[in-house]
Amino acid sequence: MSNKLLLILGFSFFLSLWSCIPAAAQKQDDRDLKISSALQNAQLPADLSRRVLEQYKQQPDQFIKTVTNITAQDPYLWRLVDKAHGLDAGYEPDDLITLRGGSYLLNRSGLQLRRAAAETLEVMAKAAKADGVTLVVSSCYRSYGYQKQVYERNVQQMGQAAADRESARPGHSQHQLGFAVDFDSIDDSFAQTKQSQWLEKNAGRYGWSLSYPKDMEHVTGYRWESWHYRYVGPELSQFIDTYFDGIQQYALVFLHHYVR
pLDDT in tens, 83-135: 999 999 999 999 999 999 999 999 999 999 999 999 999 999 999 999 999 99
Alpha carbons 54 and 198: distance in angstroms, whole number: 32
Q: What's residue 7's pLDDT?
A: 41
Q: What's residue 5's pLDDT?
A: 45
pLDDT band at 28 (very low <50, low <70, confident <90, very high): confident
**Is residue 108 within 8 Å of residue 77, measured between CB atoms?**
no
Catalytic-labelled residue, pool 122, 166, 200, 225: 225
Known catalytic residue at 225: yes
Give 1 or 51, the one with higher predicted confidence.
Answer: 51
pLDDT higher than 70, residue 174: yes
pLDDT band at 14 (very low <50, low <70, confident <90, very high): very low
Q: How far is CA 221 from its chain centroid? A: 16
